[in-house]
Amino acid sequence: MTWKDAKLVPGWSDTTLVSDSVGAADTNTHKYVQKRKGKKPILSSRQLGRYLNKFASCSYAFIRSMRGKKRIIALMNIMIFPVIAFSFISLTASTSEFCYDEGHCDPYSWGDSYPTCHPLLESHHSPINLDHDVTRDQALEALQLEGFDSVQKGQWRLRNDGHTVVLEVGSGMTVSGGGLPGTYSTLQLHFHWGSLATNGSEHTIHTYRLPMEMHIVNMKTIHPNLTSAMEDQTGLAVLAVFIDVSYTENANFTPITTALSSVAHRGQSVAIRPFPLASLLPQDHLGLYYRYHGSLTTPPCSQVVVWSVYEVPVHISWSQYERFAVGVFSTEEETDQDVLLQNNFRHVHLTYSRRVYASKDAQLLGAACPAAAPGSGLLLLSLLPLLLSHMDPTPDGS
């Protein structure tokens, strides 16, 4: 499995989800952001009509000037040309760019270019809001994370793909157990964040959005590549970890946060010395998570993901959070206007008839939480014992 395989999927960063009361990106507070002008479509319908008209009249004159076999060959060539031209245009359109903060390419319009991103009735899209409507599954114990405690050989690579920052971790780690339908090989992890004034996790708990979310992406080992895994409804398993902002630096994230300045612009990458991946997880609470079937949260939004969303967040400091929020750009280095990469999360989707399962030991159910700015997740955590003491009885799995 190489990252080259991943590139077979256009725009894929997730190897990369109510009421949308906290879902809209706040674009008014980004004093650092210089808005990128909207890209024009390749051809407007009026331009296309004008070109076709001209093409038809020129072709007619050209064919009239030919005789015999030459006229037939010219006619065939002219008939083939539009097919090639339209194939090119549709190919270009199918790989069109997606974004988070501009109307013509934001998550609500992804379906225009990527039909599989349309949240149709009963579809299984991600992220979702996690609330009290979950089913306890006593069989969901902590996942088995092989190789997460050791230092892998070789080099890892941190990369800015314009939509997120991805840490490609090579091979050597697997995820299994915890009700997963197979063993999955860890490919990469990446992040979703907000801005200095807005939170940016993808999943929400009681509509509460936390500052950041990390996704560890794993592919079922029976598949030779991502193309194959994308044809399997459970081809990918993603571990989601909420990240809150705290007072103290989290040294476990330092290899990543200090390297962000080297990948500030789209397309840049830097080598990272491997470290135990377990250090980025809520290590004392690995048995507390939620499980549901969903999708990639970036185009093509394929519904092939078994999600495990850890309940207890990990923490980083405010200055570490700032390195993401105002230190990473969605634009390349040599562009006229730098555009900060912020609020790179997809809006939450309805669960419809899907069941969301709480692991055997998951606890955070019941009380509603208000939306708030980065840092206030600390408040949520400090209120956790109080919330739990007033919690509704957990629904019993049956």
Cβ–Cβ under 8 Å, residues 20 and 349: no
Look up tokens 């895994």; give the residue: 229
The residues in 236-275 that bind Zn ion, with binding defined as CB under 5 A, are none
Encoded amino acid at 319, one letter? S
- Min dist CB 311 to Zn ion, Å, is 18
The residues in 6-65 that bind Zn ion, with binding defined as CB under 5 A, are 14, 16
Encoded amino acid at 82, one letter? P
- Contact window for Zn ion (CB under 5 A) among 67-75, 207-215, 334-342, 352-360: 207-215
- Min dist CB 28 to Zn ion, Å, is 25
163 is a catalytic site residue: yes
* Total of residues contacting Zn ion (CB under 5 A): 3
**Cα torsion at 139, 142, 143, 149 (round to 10°)?**
-160
Question: CB count, 10 Å around CB of 393?
Answer: 7
Tell me 394's DSSP state: P
- Min dist CB 85 to Zn ion, Å, is 36
Q: For the chain, what percentages of helix, strand and coil (3-state, to nearest 5) are there?
A: 25, 20, 55
Nearer Cβ to Zn ion (137/218): 218
Nearer Cβ to Zn ion (215/266): 215
- Min dist CB 297 to Zn ion, Å, is 5
- Residue 358 CA to residue 270 CA, distance in Å, equals 38
Closest CA to 159 of 196, 187, 117, 127: 187
- Min dist CB 302 to Zn ion, Å, is 13
Nearer Cβ to Zn ion (308/365): 308
Q: Side-chain half-sphere of 392: how many Cα atoms within 13 Å?
A: 13
Nearer Cβ to Zn ion (309/365): 309
Cβ–Cβ under 8 Å, residues 226 and 215: no
Active-site residue identified among 30, 124, 125, 163: 163
Nearer Cβ to Zn ion (186/365): 186
Cβ–Cβ under 8 Å, residues 6 and 12: yes
The residues in 333-392 that bind Zn ion, with binding defined as CB under 5 A, are none
- Min dist CB 57 to Zn ion, Å, is 51
Does 215 bind Zn ion (CB under 5 A)? Our answer is yes
Question: CB count, 10 Å around CB of 199?
Answer: 28
Does 161 bind Zn ion (CB under 5 A)? Our answer is no
49 alpha carbon, distance to own chain's centre: 37
Q: Side-chain half-sphere of 313: how many Cα atoms within 13 Å?
A: 29
Nearer Cβ to Zn ion (166/365): 166
Catalytic residues: 163
Residues at the interface with Zn ion (CB under 5 A): 14, 16, 215
